[in-house]
Structure 1
């Protein structure tokens, strides 16, 4: 019985060795690294992405309350406000979905004088509404090579539906 097992193991070793040697002759290290990179990147695409931290200097209280861009939660927003396109301050309009990635800003609430972390999530999957207010508040923004501090990005790139619609401003908690 042990001779049969030994014989099978030797045959298996020869087959594996032949396949490995053929692969080594056919594919180089660069090909292996490229394939490994594709596998790792593909696996990473399935993982959830946390919001980026944009702890900007806290915005000063707004003077003009009629301007939706002057609302305190919008101190670091860059996009159309969802309140004007069927959504709310914290919810995407029907037919759109919140982006899988976001940027975070620190804004001062003039009512209580405290600073809060605000998550800005783009709503994706519908075209932008004509006539909606576009806000471009860049408090604390940094150059594009610092992604978490840069708001001029289509954050819908991580979603199946890439089309940008509007942006919500969600209070994440008090800033320390």
Structure 2
């Protein structure tokens, strides 16, 4: 049949032009490339639609120091579930989780003292998502191409366990 002859001719022609080593090299590149995919960060912005974080109402008052409220001043760039609602605190991961090795930062204004603070947001990794106290406050967030100031990725990507559980907010310093 003509179709058999056609495919036989194409196969023989490809075999004459292509060596075994180049086929093995191409297969090796494909295998290494697919192994690297789980290491890449992924977008968590889908949670933003259901988030109940507030950008307004940052005035000092009874809610200003509530570590479980999204309008707490140092949560100005947080995106995730607050560790203070998940068995930890605003600065410590819950038992059974570990802080992410990489993080994002934000500059938050404390209305009580009128100063700006640099805050590091570390995801806690190793357990399934907490699911309580979800906040998504993106004040002065930069586009995703600046990874260090973008909060819509899974920052557990460099840990042994890439499962995201919750997020801490650690003050690094005050603006002079």
Q: TM-score band, normalised by the shorter chain?
A: 0.5 to 0.7
Runs of 4+ in 1 over 4 A off after TM superposition: none
Matched residue, 2:58? 62
Native 8 Å contact 2:78 2:137 kept in 1: yes
The 1-side partners of 2:110 and 2:143 are apart by 26
The 2-side partners of 1:138 and 1:118 are apart by 13
Q: TM-score, normalized by length of structure 1?
A: 0.63
The 2-side partners of 1:129 and 1:145 are apart by 28
Query: CA shift at 1:129, angstroms?
Result: 2.2
Gapped runs of 5+ residues in structure 2? 1-20, 33-38, 40-54
Structure 2 residue 162 is matched with structure 1 residue 166: no
Greater CA drift, 73-82 or 63-72: 63-72
Q: TM-score, normalized by length of structure 2?
A: 0.63
Q: How many residues align?
A: 125
The 2-side partners of 1:80 and 1:165 are apart by 7
TM alignment of 1:148-163, pairs within 5 A:
148-163=148-163
Query: CA shift at 1:175, angstroms?
Result: 2.0
Matched residue, 1:101? 102
- Alpha-carbon spacing, 1:60–1:133, altered in 2? closer, same or farther (3 Å): closer
Native 8 Å contact 2:56 2:71 kept in 1: no
Deviations 1:59-108 (A, max 9, x none): 87614827711000100000000000000010000000000000010001
Native 8 Å contact 1:61 1:108 kept in 2: no
- Provide the alpha-carbon RMSD of the alignment: 2.6
Structure 2 residue 79 is matched with structure 1 residue 78: yes
- Alpha-carbon spacing, 1:154–1:99, altered in 2? closer, same or farther (3 Å): same
Matched residue, 2:48? none
Structure 2 residue 101 is matched with structure 1 residue 89: no
